[in-house]
Amino acid sequence: MQKDSNLDGSRPREPRQYRTLFVSDLHLGARACQADAFLDFLRYNEAETIYLAGDIVDFWSLRRTPLWLQSHNDVLQKLLRKARKGTRVVYVPGNHDEAVRGYCGTAFGAIEIHHDTVHEAADGRRYLVMHGDEFDVVVRYARWLALLGDRSYEFALSCNGPLNFIRRRLGLGFWSLSAYLKLRVKGAVNFIGEFEHAIAAEAKRRNVDGVICGHIHHLADRKIGGVRYINCGDWVESLTAIAEDHSGAFHQIRWQQAAAKPARIAALPAPLPAIEAMPAGALAANWAGASGKPLANVAAQAREDMATVE
């Protein structure tokens, strides 16, 4: 098997060309979203196919604190533009954007929407692509506890800002307190291990060679029970992605935090769930697909789903 590699995330002179890119957990609409860094990443990394493996828009965060920065709008515009110009973009919703799951099997502009899908790599190996929240017992069976944990995690993420402001003044690089705590707390470590084994078992049950997912914000690539388990990481703290080259080899990309600009405070008018007030040219007025339902219905559904757990 060809040895895969980690890429340092530095800016090349010309955009790198890949067969496939896998990203997850952008959390657009959340204060911790590193949208500017992701835009920078897209400028320097091109692919024939891009998989968005869930939690792209954070409806949970939008309902608590309506916030939609211009950079978040720019990300959606960039992805829509890539899809229109011929890049295949596949959106696999997660738990934070689960309202979009009602549109699986349709398309948003030229962006395909699937509950999960199978990707065939250049070497013929097949990989299940999904978000992975189905294998998080907290999300499935204790929704209120998931929301509480989400707020605690959001608080830990908020500490990253002032901490790294001081570190930059001292000439030090980015360091994530939330990631550090996650990997030091025994319960969190056990949860990650159980999640990885459960999702690898699902891939084996579906008779595929591996699984590519997100959800737990933890970049990984290893064999579990004969199945290759790959996690994309996230774009709120680790700034990571997975790339497949034209030989079928997979690479971990850790985008440099230096590429991220300070968050722009100027935002679009904060809507009820933020999405409803986006300019039609940026997000499109209607969901283009078999349902033909307006996008506002997605946000409305998110409101109803969240209300049931409060």
Contacts of 302 (CB under 8 A, 6+ apart): 59, 62, 63, 98, 99, 273
Q: pLDDT-derived band of residue 289, with 50, 70 and 90 as boundaries? A: very low
Residue 105: pLDDT above 80?
yes
Residue 232's alpha-carbon distances to 16, 127, 156, in angstroms, are 18, 13, 21
Mind listing the pLDDT tens digit for each residue in 46-92?
999 999 999 999 998 888 888 899 999 999 999 999 999 999 999 99
pLDDT-wise least confident of 10-19, 43-52, 111-120: 10-19
How much of the chain exceeds pLDDT 70, in percent? 62
If you ran DSSP here, which 8-state letter would residue 58 be given?
-
Q: What is the pLDDT of residue 21?
A: 98
Mind listing the pLDDT tens digit for each residue in 22-43?
999 999 999 889 999 999 999 9
Q: What is the mean pLDDT of residues 133-139?
A: 66
Residue 129: pLDDT above 70?
yes
Q: What is the mean pLDDT of residues 127-146?
A: 66
Q: What is the pLDDT of residue 257?
A: 53
Q: pLDDT-derived band of residue 277, with 50, 70 and 90 as boundaries? A: very low
d(CA 182, CA 285): 39
- Sheet with 16-23: list strands edge to edge: 5-7, 250-254, 240-244, 16-23, 45-52, 88-91, 111-113, 107-108
Tokens (6 digits) for 121? 């790599």
Nearest CA to 57 out of 98, 8, 5, 6 is that of 98
Residue 282: pLDDT above 70?
no
Q: pLDDT-derived band of residue 249, with 50, 70 and 90 as boundaries? A: very high
How much of the chain exceeds pLDDT 90, in percent? 48
Q: What is the pLDDT of residue 213?
A: 96
Q: What is the pLDDT of residue 274?
A: 37
d(CA 33, CA 56): 10
d(CA 56, CA 59): 9
Looking at every residue in the chain, the average pLDDT score rounds to: 76
Q: What is the mean pLDDT of residues 222-228?
A: 95
Q: What is the pLDDT of residue 182?
A: 53
d(CA 3, CA 9): 18
Residue 226: pLDDT above 70?
yes
Residue 6: pLDDT above 90?
no
Mind listing the pLDDT tens digit for each residue in 168-212?
677 766 656 555 555 554 444 455 668 889 999 999 999 999 999
**Domains in the chain, CATH or no CATH each:** 5-307 (3.60.21.10)
- Give one word for 213, left, alpha or beta, with left for phi > 0 and alpha for psi -120 to 50: beta
Q: Which residue has the tokens 């199978």?
A: 118
Mind listing the pLDDT tens digit for each residue in 258-272?
434 444 444 444 333
Q: What is the pLDDT of residue 238?
A: 85
